[in-house]
């Protein structure tokens, strides 16, 4: 579990430090305070220096990787929405001359650190002519992102990704990571992935966990299953009708609850990062939602980071888990300086009692 976090020169963060992290962490703050950026920073650190993270759609917001397009005539074209301009958005003040630094202390793996730097190497090609003379050609400069990672026991990994004419040059992806992370962004959904995660949960004989969680939203739900009747894997449920019903038809709350529990179960001993956790959930069910999340996180030893704009969501976590059951971190930007206020149990009690502005 992560206990401490430092971020420098990443997106809105010139410098941010959070001294204390818990099992469940709620991230609040005004718009553009850096809530989603904090999730992305942890997600990048979990990549253990994999440069492939630079084209991950969860980090490059709203953009897709390079796509190969074949016309009706069989001609191939390439769409490349991710390029060095996209990467520039990762750096504070769009300044690619200062490296991004993300550091954290993990209870099992010790100090972890990631540095992401931009380079534009000067490359020349030399060739021999028929007389034995040497000619030199300056090749076009290609922007490179270099990922330098320092992991458990000081192990160092260096990885890079380079923009090429028709895609990217990237080293072999890193597979040996100290902790796994998954990120849930409100704009990106994957029903096939959810169905696959349910299959894994059922394989562990824990499918009832998701059923009970969904019954918090829909008490009439009798059973669930992963089914490909629609042509693609999807979660279906029995709510007493003549046929099973796809989960998306049951409403946003059901989708959000399923995503949360399945994400937690998919990364044991890892980290789940959730943007706008209250999306689709009515305030009346939020206390029960938090109890279910807390139970699932405990069973899988999963750490949760979740952003919110909702006072009702914070209040529900307080009532359901108690002031010691979670930590609230409020991000602030004052005079271009970043600050994080972490509420103690006593200050949380006072804030909820007097309805102080903590969002």
Instruction: Output the domain CATH number for residue 321.
Output: 3.40.50.300
The last residue of a domain, from among 119, 153, 172? 172
∠ CA 336-337-340, rounded to 5°: 135
How many angstroms separate the CA atoms of 151 and 86, rounded?
Answer: 27
pLDDT of residue 213: 95
**Farthest CA pair distance, the chain:** 88
pLDDT confidence of residue 173: 63
Q: Give residue 70's pLDDT.
A: 46
**Alpha helix (H) residue ranges in the chain:** 35-46, 84-88, 191-203, 207-215, 252-266, 286-300, 311-321, 345-354
Distance CA 17, CA 309 (A): 21
Indicate if 343 and 297 belong to the same structural domain: yes
| Domain presence at residue 136 | yes
Distance (Å, rounded) from C-alpha 306 to C-alpha 302?
13
Instruction: Assess whether 39 and 111 both reside in one domain.
Output: yes
Are 135 and 258 contained in the same domain? no
CA distance 240 to 219: 11
Q: Is 25 within the bounds of a domain?
A: no
Task: Please check whether residues 64 and 121 belong to one and the same domain.
Answer: yes
**Which of 172, 193, 225 corresponds to the end of one domain?**
172
Report the chain's C-alpha Rg in angstroms.
23
User: Facing residues of 102 across strands?
Assistant: 7, 114
Low-confidence ranges of the chain (pLDDT < 50): 65-71, 76-80
Instruction: Give the total number of structural domains in the chain.
Output: 2
- The range of the structural domain enclosing residue 300 comes to 183-354
Average pLDDT for the chain: 84
Domain boundary among 137, 172, 207: 172
pLDDT for 12? 92
Question: Cβ of 285: how many Cβ atoms within 10 Å?
Answer: 15
Q: What is the pLDDT of residue 254?
A: 94
- Integer Cα distance of 283 and 311 in angstroms: 10
**Which residue reads 């949380």 in tokens?**
348
pTM metric for this prediction: 0.85
pLDDT at residue 290, rounded to an integer: 96
Residue 178 placed within a domain: no
Task: Report how far apart the first and last C-alpha atoms of the chain are (Å, whole number).
Answer: 25
Dihedral sign computed on CA atoms, order 322, 323, 325, 326: positive
**What are the C-alpha distances in Å from 289 to residues 124, 210, 232, 313?**
59, 12, 28, 10
Q: 26 in a domain, yes or no?
A: no
- Could you tell me which residues come within 8 angstroms of residue 276 by beta carbon, excluding any fewer than 6 positions away? 186, 307, 308, 309
**96 and 211 inside one domain:** no
Q: Where are the beta strands (DSSP E) in the chain?
A: 2-10, 13-18, 24-29, 67-70, 76-79, 100-106, 110-119, 124-128, 134-138, 144-150, 156-164, 167-170, 181-184, 223-227, 234-238, 245-246, 271-274, 303-307, 327-334, 337-342
* CA–CA dist 314, 24 (Å, integer): 12
Indicate if 276 and 299 belong to the same structural domain. Answer: yes
Beta strand 271-274 pairing with 303-307: parallel
**Residues 215 and 248 grouped into a single domain:** yes
- Tell whether 72 and 191 lie within a shared domain: no
Indicate whether 152 and 204 sit together in one domain. Answer: no
Distance CA 82, CA 235 (A): 32
**Residues 101 and 129: beta-carbon distance below 8 Å:** no
Judge whether 27 lies within some domain.
Answer: no
In a domain, 132, yes or no: yes
| pLDDT, position 87 | 81
56 and 132 in one domain? yes
Whether 359 is covered by a domain: the verdict is: no
In a domain, 177, yes or no: no
The residue whose two tokens read 């979990």 is: 46
Edge-to-edge strands, sheet with 234-238:
223-227, 234-238, 245-246
Q: Are residues 284 and 325 in the same domain?
A: yes
User: Are 167 and 51 within one domain?
Assistant: yes
Strand, coil or helix: 78: strand
């Amino acid at each position: 579990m992560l206990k401490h976090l430092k971020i420098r020169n990443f997106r809105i963060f010139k410098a941010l430090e959070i001294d204390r992290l818990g099992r469940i962490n709620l991230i609040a703050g005004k718009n553009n305070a850096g809530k989603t950026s904090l999730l992305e920073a942890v997600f990048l650190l979990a990549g253990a220096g994999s440069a492939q993270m630079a084209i991950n759609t969860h980090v490059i917001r709203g953009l897709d990787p390079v796509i190969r397009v074949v016309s009706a005539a069989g001609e191939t074209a390439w769409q490349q929405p991710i390029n060095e301009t996209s990467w520039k958005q990762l750096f504070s003040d769009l300044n690619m001359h200062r490296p991004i630094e993300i550091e954290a202390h993990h209870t099992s793996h010790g100090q972890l650190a990631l540095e992401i730097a931009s380079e534009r190497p000067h490359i020349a090609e030399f060739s021999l002519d028929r007389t034995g003379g040497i000619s030199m050609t300056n090749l076009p400069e290609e922007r490179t992102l270099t990922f330098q990672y320092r992991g458990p026991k000081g192990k160092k990994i260096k990885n890079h990704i380079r923009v090429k004419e028709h895609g990217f040059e990237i080293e072999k992806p890193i597979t040996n990571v100290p902790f796994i992370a998954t990120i849930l962004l409100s704009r990106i959904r994957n029903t096939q992935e959810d169905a696959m995660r349910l299959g894994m949960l059922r394989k562990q004989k824990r499918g009832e966990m998701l059923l009970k969680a969904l019954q918090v939203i829909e008490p009439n739900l009798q059973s669930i299953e992963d089914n490909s009747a629609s042509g693609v894997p999807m979660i279906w449920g029995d709510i007493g009708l003549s046929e099973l019903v796809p989960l998306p038809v049951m409403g946003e709350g059901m989708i959000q609850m399923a995503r949360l529990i399945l994400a937690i179960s998919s990364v044991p001993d890892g980290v789940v990062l959730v943007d706008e956790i209250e999306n689709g959930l009515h305030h009346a069910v939020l206390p029960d939602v938090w109890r279910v999340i807390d139970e699932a996180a405990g069973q899988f030893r999963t750490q949760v980071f979740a952003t919110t704009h909702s006072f009702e969501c914070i209040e529900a976590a307080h009532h359901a888990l108690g002031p010691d059951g979670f930590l609230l971190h409020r991000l602030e930007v004052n005079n271009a300086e970043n600050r994080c206020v972490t509420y103690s149990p006593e200050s949380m009690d006072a804030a909820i009692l007097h309805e102080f502005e903590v969002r």
